[in-house]
Structure 1
Amino acid sequence: RIIDFAIAAIGHIRGGLAMASVVACMIFAAISGSSPATVAAIGTIVIAGMVRAGYSQAFATGVIANAGTLGILIPPSIVMLVYSAATEESASKMFMAGVIPGLMMGGLLMVAIFIVATIKKYPTQPFAGFRHLISSFFTALGGLMLIFLVLGSIYLGVASPTEAASVAAIYAFFVVVYGYRDMGPLKGIPWRKADETIGAASTRAVTQFFTAIARAPFDTEVRQVLANSVKVSAMLLFIIANAMIFAHVLTTEKIPHHIAEGITAMELSPWIFLVIVNILLLVAGNFMEPSAIILIMAPILLPIAKTLGIDPIHLGIIMVVNMEIGMLTPPVGLNLFVASGITGRSMGWVIKACLPWLALLLVFLLLITYIPQISLWLPETMSPYNR
């Protein structure tokens, strides 16, 4: 539904199908918070579709693998939550700081796609008309509202990230089971049967609402989703718990303090320090999973950054962008493995397909590193930041 809406909106532009895929990745990123999940969910559908439409498979794979990295930059983000837990910084501030960089990266990708598509004369999709655009928007509205429900409640100070996530989970349950009816006891049952009056359909819908609530816990698909959710939640619980323990041990032993004193004695400028941070994180991203890097490096780097006058939220976004690049660098780049599985191609082929887009990410990293207001303008402007 999200992909259909994105294609209806910009599919008629040169390279529009690829741009629509980026938009779909951005929207899904704001729902899932996971980079590999974004590549898997969107790539499974659109890579084959782009190839059928006349795009090269390498182009399609590179676009989706790179756009999928937005899963950890556009809030809500799992990696941002891990950083917040490891440094005791506000998750709400991190989420706000990720909005403009996420939109900016998506925009840069679409500009690059338009340029390449124009040079290679990739096809455009016929504009389906405003009626289809509006129809596809309302069809996707159930999923889109999830984004506004989570981020809106956090940014307006109505709910904490934990409270917003709880409400979003309940909302998603009703949308999927009762609204879209993609799973659960009402799967395949239409809202209105043929020759049924609106009154009869409304009465039946009310009855089905309570039926769905009562029978959903016993449905196989619903139980499977709940089981998977518990597994992911348990994993994150242990990651965050260990992050807090690790940070506490480092603080107790004054390890960050001693390292900060040593680096301060070297009289490094903030500019040079950030160069070192980026090199360190880019190298670590080749061999370690993002959450592990954040857990180990954030408590050590943060005190040094504070000493040099670098905003902790700005440092957090720099680390997240570095983790994005790590998703595309061998040997443990998770997006590479997902893209390889989708296309059936070798890792070497996928890496080659991603290299041109990886260069764009490196340019974006420089912008984020040395123009801090890209990250800090929104959280400094929003009132919850100043409370």
Structure 2
Amino acid sequence: MATILLFVTFIACLIVGVPVAVTLGLSSFVYMVLSGIPIVAIPQKMYAGMDVFVLLCIPGFILAGNLMNGGGITERIIRFASALVGWIRGGLGLTNIAGSMLFAGISGTAVADAASIGSVMIPGMKRAGYSGAFAAALTAAASTVGPIIPPSVPMIIVGSLTGVSVGRMFMAGAIPGLLLGIGLMVTCYVMARRNNFPREPWRGARELWSAFLDAFWALLMTALIIGGLLSGLVTPTETAIVACLYAIVVGLFIYRGLTLSSIVTIIIDSSVSAAGILVLVGFANVFGWILAAEQIPQAISSAVLAITDNQILIILMINLLLLIVGMFMETIAALIILFPPLLAVATASGIDPIHFATFAVLNLMIGLTTPPVGVCLFLCANIARVPLSKVVVAIVPFLLTNLFVLALVSYIPFLSTWLPNAVFGH
């Protein structure tokens, strides 16, 4: 009875729009009261869930991204991306995607990417003759690259939930992230040719070199993050802290876009963002502890395997489930709730945990650009000041591209396992 009411409370709260963190805590509270478990277990399990060293990556990378963005990084990255690909047909669209790929190595979150790149690129694309709906759709689709190319906040969450190496997770996302970016660029170019979108004039090698030098310190931060992980000299958590220090030095003394007062504001804003995620992790640990005690993951795994043990069909079923969930639930919440039981299903059918985690994260990133709860879709539509319905129509070609890349990553494990195995060994 307690288990039934656990899920009834959980589903009812989600339906009426209660925040996911509160939903997890309330449903866990109901279960413990009915089961006679002391309520003191809730703060104990919450603290145990948050007291994980690798979770320090989350406030670290959020702060580093906000510091670099506040220091003037976005405009410099966009200038370099424009000099690199802006002269091709549909160049501003390609610049948008390239900027997201470069910015991905700093922010680690799709929403930060969409807000930063979108606030500059969407108005610029509209002035150049692109429709607002196309500009918003392209920006939203490109923002999904952010949490795939390292660093990645969702992959940090996955590592904390399962004990899978965060360093391996970061490396696993590199090739799929590049494939996603290249796929979006090809789609953008084809649409640009078909619709005769404008292109920027070639400004010469001098402008390319000047733009590179202007963006050098921003690009070096990406190299610092990835190089530190590849070398093994620092852990992902230590990399995040080094990135914060680097961002402060560059923002204060090189780009000079930061002031001491703005740093204080950025630290407060970053702390609020990180706290929201960590509270969600804490309540999810309580909920996960209950599920483990009731052996729910094992029951789900046994039920799926009773239907089929065909790995191809299991991957398809998992993808369909995550695509549907991603349409209605926020990414991190969906990962926290669904990842452990689905991982049990995946490992029981012989799927590599790193491979599974990569396509699961990619799957839920696609959910950020699908209605009715596509956060990046809403954000970009607001920036472009166009109705959401028009953006939904415009994003269809990019969604199809993302789904094609998802299929490749899901059914070709080599794409996500080769680089971590090459760097860290089998």
Q: Shorter-chain-normalised TM-score: which range?
A: 0.7 to 0.9
Deviations 1:208-262 (A, max 9, x none): xxxxxxxx3xx2x121011112212322333334444444443343322232233
Give structure 1 stretches of 5+ with no counterpart.
185-215
Partners of 1:86 and 1:294 within 8 A in 2: no
Q: Counterparts in 2 of 1:2-17, with a 5 A limit?
A: 2-17=77-92
Partners of 1:63 and 1:357 within 8 A in 2: yes
2:397 aligns with one of 338, 341, 356 = 356
Tell me whether 1:46 sits opposite 2:87 in the alignment: no
1:158 aligns with one of 209, 215, 233 = 233
2:256 is aligned to 181
Partners of 1:250 and 1:256 within 8 A in 2: yes
2:369 is aligned to 328
2:380 is aligned to 339
Partners of 1:83 and 1:294 within 8 A in 2: yes
Partners of 1:246 and 1:295 within 8 A in 2: no
Q: Structure 1 residues 369 and 96 mapped into 2: Cα distance closer, same or farther (>3 Å)? A: same
Task: Give the distance between the partners of 2:129 and 2:305, measured in 1 at CA.
Answer: 55
Partners of 1:82 and 1:239 within 8 A in 2: no
Partners of 1:85 and 1:240 within 8 A in 2: no
Q: Structure 1 residues 152 and 117 mapped into 2: Cα distance closer, same or farther (>3 Å)? A: same
Deviations 1:68-106 (A, max 9, x none): 111221111111111112222111111000000000110
2:354 is aligned to 313
Q: Structure 1 residues 111 and 136 mapped into 2: Cα distance closer, same or farther (>3 Å)? A: same
Percent same amino acid at aligned positions?
39
Task: Give the distance between the partners of 1:64 and 1:12, measured in 2 at CA.
Answer: 19
Task: Give the distance between the partners of 1:385 and 1:172, measured in 2 at CA.
Answer: 31
2:163 is aligned to 88
Partners of 1:97 and 1:375 within 8 A in 2: yes
Partners of 2:154 and 2:361 within 8 A in 1: yes
1:18 is aligned to 93
Partners of 1:86 and 1:243 within 8 A in 2: no
2:324 aligns with one of 265, 269, 283 = 283
1:231 is aligned to 272
Task: Give the distance between the partners of 2:369 and 2:416, measured in 1 at CA.
Answer: 22
TM, length-normalised to structure 2: 0.79
1:97 is aligned to 172
* Offset, 1:292: 0.9
Amino acid aligned to 2:166: A
* Offset, 1:323: 1.0
CA RMSD for the aligned pairs?
Answer: 1.5
1:274 is aligned to 315
Partners of 2:93 and 2:188 within 8 A in 1: yes
2:109 is aligned to 34
Partners of 2:134 and 2:391 within 8 A in 1: no
Partners of 2:300 and 2:345 within 8 A in 1: yes
Amino acid aligned to 2:77: I
Task: Give the distance between the partners of 2:163 and 2:290, measured in 1 at CA.
Answer: 14
* Offset, 1:385: 4.2
Partners of 1:36 and 1:334 within 8 A in 2: yes
TM, length-normalised to structure 1: 0.87
Partners of 2:113 and 2:146 within 8 A in 1: yes
Tell me whether 1:116 sits opposite 2:191 in the alignment: yes
